[in-house]
Amino acid sequence: MIRMMFQHAKKHPGLIPQFFFLTLGITGASLYLIRLARGPHVTLWDKKNNPEPWTKLDPTYQYKFVAVSTDYKNLKKEGPDF
Cα separation, 67 vs 52, in Å, equals: 26
Cα separation, 17 vs 24, in Å, equals: 10
Q: State yes or no: pLDDT of 63 exceeds 70.
A: no
What does the pLDDT read at residue 15? 85
Q: State yes or no: pLDDT of 41 exceeds 70.
A: no
Q: State yes or no: pLDDT of 62 exceeds 70.
A: no
Q: State yes or no: pLDDT of 33 exceeds 60.
A: yes
At 8-32, the pLDDT tens digits run 888 998 888 998 999 999 999 999 9
What does the pLDDT read at residue 49? 74
Query: Where are the chain's structural domains?
Result: 1-38, 46-77
